[in-house]
Amino acid sequence: MVSIPGWFIYALLGAIFAAFSTIFAKIGLKDINSITVTTLRAIIMTIIIFIIFLLEIKNINSLFNLSNKNYLFVILSALFGALSWIAFFYALKIGKASNVSIIDRSSFLFVVLLSIIILNEKLTIQKVIASILMFIALVLLVI
């Protein structure tokens, strides 16, 4: 019997949740400015995540006991995440959800490249093949 790693299950759930999020956002963007939707979504997500944080955390001080390096990279992640959302929701407002989502998911290609350069991860044949297939999908979408 094949054992499925926990990270794979959570990643798959994340992809499924992201798909629903995209579809619901596209419907919700119909008569609203994309920045308004992004802002409202961020506020609602913050509330939900904070409630989960309060339910899960054993010691609230852990939120304030991070190193300067932790804070720096959390801030950078939030900055680029916000920019990503702004660009994604604007594209979603004016484009087809399926096309926008495929291009958005091409971030996989950039993650593979940056993980090799910055995180010193190994480039495997599986990653090369998956990246080539993803790139072909993007080309097919554009032509």
| Global confidence as pTM | 0.78
125: confidence class by pLDDT, cuts 50, 70, 90: very high
Whole-number Å distance between alpha carbons of 85 and 88? 5
Do 80 and 45 lie in one domain? The reply is: yes
pLDDT attached to residue 102? 83
Q: In sequence order, which residues have a C-beta less than 8 Å from that of residue 82 and are 6 or more positions away?
A: 42
pLDDT attached to residue 124? 94
Domain carrying residue 125:
106-143
- pLDDT per residue as tens digits for the range 49-63: 988 888 887 777 777
pLDDT attached to residue 138? 84
Domain boundary among 95, 117, 135: 95
Do 48 and 113 lie in one domain? The reply is: no
Do 87 and 39 lie in one domain? The reply is: yes
103: confidence class by pLDDT, cuts 50, 70, 90: confident
Taking alpha carbons only, the member of 101, 91, 90, 94 closest to residue 35 is 90
pLDDT attached to residue 56? 81
